[in-house]
């Protein structure tokens, strides 16, 4: 497995492999790998000859007072895990390599980026869209795999690819959960001792909403009250949002149907901001 740290070397390697007629699957990450990341790598292997994993904590998707400095990092561990998964290249550039002096370009995907996480994280998705565009331009992947836990991000990347006529196929991979239902996330490493039950309030809320819908509840206002009461019953929680949205447009839904997604963002003990989501009529954990 190669470790590449410069955009120039990454482009050269990718162009050579494409000229050989080999397909490339890209898994963009910010590192600190868990089973969810590894499952994305395995999914990429199913459809591509070679897998490239980018490992870059992208500063442009963090706003002021967010957790950039506290975001967990472990380069040596990540490289070892990627190698065990048969990854061909780990692309791990520095901030200066990705955003050299004089860098000015920003890509926005709106209105998708103005919903959900975009309300309180206004720069986040422009940072995501910009760095993903750079990665696609450098690597020219045949396909790229993104986790469905970041549901809004996946919707934005799909729109980005469609709007800019990119040729990369975007594949969404189902949420990977721990045995107790907690959605796997690098930020779980920041959870303090004793906050597990509070963190589990997200996945439990999706189950509660599905149960209510199965009983015939369709009003998202009623469901919103139910979910907020459940999450707020844990002392270590602070709700960012509880939203019921259309699965394609992310516009707010008044009544639940087969397209309705419940999306959640909750701060746990002011140490970790966790997100989770799920369709309410079809699909299950």
DSSP assignment string, 50-75: EEEEEE---GGG--TTSSTTTS---H
Topology classification of domain 2-173: Rossmann fold (3.40.50)
The pLDDT value recorded for residue 284 is 40
Average pLDDT, stretch 123-148? 98
- Tens digit of pLDDT for each residue in 60-103? 999 998 999 999 999 999 999 999 999 999 999 999 999 999 99
Q: What is the CA radius of gyration of the chain?
A: 19
To the nearest whole percent, how much of the chain has pLDDT over 70? Answer: 99
Q: Are 253 and 246 in contact (CB under 8 A)?
A: yes
- pLDDT band of residue 283 (cuts 50, 70, 90) is low
Residues 6 or more apart whose CB falls under 8 angstroms from that of 201 comprise 230, 231, 233, 234, 237, 266
Please, are residues 51 and 44 in contact by the beta-carbon 8 Å criterion?
yes
Q: Where are the beta strands (DSSP E) in 112-269?
A: 143-147, 169-173, 237-246, 260-268
What SS3 state is found at 121? coil
Whether the pLDDT of residue 285 is over 80: the answer is no
Contact assessment for residue 250 and residue 165, using Cβ atoms and an 8 Å cutoff:
no
User: Measured between alpha carbons, how far is 79 from 55 in angstroms, rounded to an integer?
Assistant: 9
d(Cα 259, Cα 252) in Å, to the nearest integer?
Answer: 11
Residue count of the chain: 285
| Residue 205 in this model has a pLDDT that exceeds 90 | yes
Domain boundaries of the chain, sorted by first residue: 2-173, 186-278
* Structural element, H or E, at residue 157: helix 151-163
Domain 186-278: CATH architecture, name and number where available: 2-Layer Sandwich (3.30)
* Residues noted as catalytic: 37
Written as six digits, the tokens of 68 are 């950039």
User: Which pLDDT score, from 0 to 100, does residue 173 have?
Assistant: 98
**Residue 65: per-residue pLDDT:** 85
Asked whether the predicted pLDDT for residue 11 surpasses 80, the reply is yes
């Amino acid at each position: 497995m190669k470790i590449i740290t410069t955009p120039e070397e990454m482009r050269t390697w990718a162009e050579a492999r494409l000229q050989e007629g080999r397909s490339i699957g890209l898994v963009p990450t910010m590192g600190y790998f868990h089973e969810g990341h590894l499952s994305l790598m395995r999914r990429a292997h199913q459809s591509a000859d070679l897998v490239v994993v980018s490992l870059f904590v992208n500063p442009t998707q963090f706003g002021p007072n967010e957790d950039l400095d506290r975001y967990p990092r472990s380069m040596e561990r990540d490289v070892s895990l990627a190698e065990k998964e048969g990854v061909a290249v780990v692309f791990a550039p520095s901030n200066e390599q990705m955003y050299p002096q004089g860098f000015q370009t920003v890509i926005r995907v709106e209105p998708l980026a103005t919903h959900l996480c975009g309300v309180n994280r206004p720069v986040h998705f422009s940072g995501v869209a910009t760095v993903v565009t750079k990665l696609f331009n450098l690597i020219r992947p045949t396909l790229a795999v993104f986790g469905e836990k970041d549901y809004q991000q996946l919707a934005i990347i799909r729109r980005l690819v469609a709007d800019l006529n990119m040729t990369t196929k975007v594949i969404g991979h189902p949420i990977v959960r721990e045995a107790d239902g907690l959605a796997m996330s690098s930020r779980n490493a920041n959870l303090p001792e004793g906050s597990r039950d509070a963190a589990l309030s997200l996945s439990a809320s999706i189950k509660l909403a599905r149960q209510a819908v199965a009983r015939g509840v369709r009003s998202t206002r009623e469901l919103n009250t139910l979910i907020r009461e459940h999450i707020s019953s844990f002392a270590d929680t602070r709700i960012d949002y509880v939203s019921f949205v259309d699965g394609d447009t992310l516009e707010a839904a008044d009544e639940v149907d087969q397209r309705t997604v419940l999306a959640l963002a909750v701060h746990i003990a002011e140490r970790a901001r966790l997100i989770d989501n799920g369709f309410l009529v079809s699909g299950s954990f």
